[in-house]
Structure 1
């Protein structure tokens, strides 16, 4: 089996019992950061052994729910051009040329968080682009966990937002997008 690394964000009420409940539910392979005195947001950084990235992430989500925490999202790894260069053993100049379209096949993923000085890109989108164009050696596991985390994060966020709607509106929305 392969070890997959990812991060889950959650919120919980104050109390040491939250950390104990997470451990007992199966988060023994996670480093949990949470202030039991104040409660609120926390996260678990996982190194989870599983047959697939999907099974690793899904099992951690289920265990978090069993422990009674509200899951906010899965880290969809946002990276700068410098981080992309470091992760791919390329120069910042080469990655910048890909991003601006001056070199390479074009269609580099657009930044998820555009900023004047340092934009943030989806590592999942970047890894798929790199693999598609044969521009960097990426482990299949790395590509898989990036893709799964992107989808799991969007799903958790959509569910949380959807729960803010009245039930009739949720049902109408579910029918419309099904």
Structure 2
């Protein structure tokens, strides 16, 4: 089996028991960053062994719900040029050439967080681009989890936002986008 690394963003009520509930539900493979006294939002960083990325993420989401936490999202793996270089065994200069279009096929993904010094890119988008253009070997598990986290995050956020709509509007929207 493959080990998949990902993060879940969650909200939980205050109380020491919530940490025990997370562990008992199956989050024994997660590093949880959360203040149980204050409650509120936290992060769970997983290194989960599973047959697929879908099974890894889905099982963590189900276990979180069983523990009584509200899942807010799956962390997008944002990376800087230096991290892309490290993950692909390329130099920072080579990655910079891809980003600027001086080398490679062009069309490098736009940064999710543009900054003057260190922009951040979606590893999901970058790994797909690298794979499509055969520019670097990216672990199939990295590509799989990156793509899944992006979709899982959007799905969790959309589900949470739909609760703001009336039942009638939610039904109409669901039918329209199905």
| TM-score normalised by length of structure 1 | 0.96
Contact 2:87 2:138 in 1 (8 A): no
Structure 1 gap ranges (5+): none
Q: Alpha-carbon deviations, 1:8-34, whole Å to 9, x = none?
A: 110111111111111111111111111
Q: Alpha-carbon deviations, 1:41-82, whole Å to 9, x = none?
A: 111111111110100000000110111101011111011112
2: CA distance between counterparts of 1:118 and 1:98? 15
Q: Alpha-carbon deviations, 1:75-108, whole Å to 9, x = none?
A: 1101111211122121222111111111101111
Q: Secondary structure at the match of 2:156?
A: helix
Contact 2:22 2:67 in 1 (8 A): yes
Aligned equivalent of 1:46: 46
Q: Alpha-carbon deviations, 1:94-146, whole Å to 9, x = none?
A: 11111111110111111122223322111011011111111111111111111
2: CA distance between counterparts of 1:60 and 1:82? 30
Aligned equivalent of 1:138: 138
1: CA distance between counterparts of 2:71 and 2:21? 14
2: CA distance between counterparts of 1:50 and 1:93? 35
Aligned equivalent of 1:111: 111
Structure 2 gap ranges (5+): none
2: CA distance between counterparts of 1:166 and 1:112? 32
- Indicate the RMSD between aligned Cα atoms, in angstroms: 1.1
Aligned equivalent of 1:17: 17
Aligned equivalent of 1:92: 92
Matched residue count: 178
